[in-house]
Amino acid sequence: MARTFFVGGNFKLNGNKQSIKEIVERINKASIPQNVEVVLCPPAPYLDYAAGLVSKPQVSVGAQNAYYKAAGAFTGENSVEQIKDVGAKWVIIGHSERRTLFKETDEEVAEKTKFALDQGLGVILCIGETLEEKKAGVTLKVVETQLNAVIAQVKDWSNVVVAYEPVWAIGTGLAATPEDAQDIHASIRKYLSEKLGADVAEKTRILYGGSANGSNAVTFKDKKDVDGFLVGGASLKPEFVDIINSRN
Ligand code: PEP
C-alpha cells in the first residue's frame, strides 16, 4: 500500500507576518506533486494568517502544541477547538523541545494526542532518543516506551503521523544516515504491527526529522519505511521546496 509522502514544516518560535507570508507564497508558487501532503506549522499567533494564505489543496496548516482540556482557566494554553477554528488541521505533539524544555511527560503527550484526535485534529507525534540513550544502545527501548504511552490511550491511529526525531540530530546539522533511519523506522513499524496490527502499521506514516535539508532529503528516497520528513530550520528557507519534491 502506498503511503502518501508527508512533509511537515516546524517553524518553531520563528517568524513574523512578513516572513511567514514569504514562506507560504513560495509554497503556493512552487510546483508540488499532487501526491505529497505538506503541513506548515507556524507559531500559534500566525496560524489564522498562514491558513488564510495557503492556496494549494495538498498544503495545510498545523499548530506546534495543543492542550488536553477544551477550555477554562489554563492561562497561556491553546485549545484544539481554537486551533481548528482558525483553519489548522494538524498539531505537532511531543516534540523533543516540549519534552525537554517544558518537561512534558510521555503521559501528557499521550493525553494531548488522544484529546486532539478525539476533537478532530491530525497529530504529528514526535518520538526519539537523546545522544546518551543512543550511545547506551537503548534507542528502540526509548521510542517503544514513548509509543506505548500513546498506544495505551489511542486505538484509532488513522490520523496519526509518527515523526522519528533523534534528539541529537535536531538543529545540529548531523542528520541520521538514511540507512540508520530506515532501520529504526522499520523497527517502529514492526512494533506498531505487534501492538496495533499489521494494517495500522502498514498505513501509518513514519517521518524522519533532524537536520533534514534540501541536499540530504533525496538520499532517503529509496528507504521504504521513511514516508516523509518533519523539518525545522530548513522549513524556513527556499530549500524546503526541494525537500517537498525529494521523492519525485
Ligand atoms: C524539528 O524541530 O522538528 C527539526 C527536525 O529541526 P531541524 O530540522 O532544524 O533539525
Residue ID of nearest Cα to ligand 1 atom 3: 232
Q: Mean pLDDT in the chain?
A: 98
**CATH number of the domain that residue 136 is part of:** 3.20.20.70
Q: Is residue 166 within 6 Å of ligand 1 at its C-beta?
A: no
Q: Residue 185 belongs to what domain range? A: 5-244
Crossing angle, helix 178-196 and helix 139-151, to 10 degrees? 40
pLDDT tens digits, residue range 59-111? 999 999 999 999 999 999 999 999 999 999 999 999 999 999 999 999 999 99
- pLDDT per residue as tens, the chain (248 positions): 699 999 999 999 999 999 999 999 999 999 999 999 999 999 999 999 999 999 999 999 999 999 999 999 999 999 999 999 999 999 999 999 999 999 999 999 999 999 999 999 999 999 999 999 999 999 999 999 999 999 999 999 999 999 999 999 999 999 999 999 999 999 999 999 999 999 999 999 999 999 999 999 999 999 999 999 999 999 999 999 999 999 98
The residue whose CA is least distant from atom 1 of ligand 1 is 232
Is the shortest distance between the CB of 175 and ligand 1 below 6 Å? Answer: no
ipTM: 0.99
Which set of grid coordinates corresponds to residue 216? 540530504
Query: Residue 229 Cα, ligand 1 centroid: separation in angstroms?
Result: 9
Backbone torsion region of residue 113, taken as left when φ is above 0, otherwise alpha when ψ lies between -120 and 50, otherwise beta? alpha
pLDDT for 43: 98
Ligand 1 atom 2, closest CA = 232
* Cβ of 233 below 6 Å from ligand 1: yes
Taking the C-alpha atoms of residue 29 and residue 55, their distance in angstroms, rounded to an integer, is 9
CB of residue 210 inside a 6 A radius of ligand 1? yes
Nearest ligand 1 atom, CA 213: 8
Report the catalytic residues. 95, 165
Is 231 touching ligand 1 by the criterion CB < 6 Å?
A: yes
Number of domains in the chain: 1
For residue 165, the ligand 1 atom closest to its alpha carbon is 5
pLDDT at 20: 98
Tell how far the Cα of 14 is from the centroid of ligand 1, in angstroms: 12
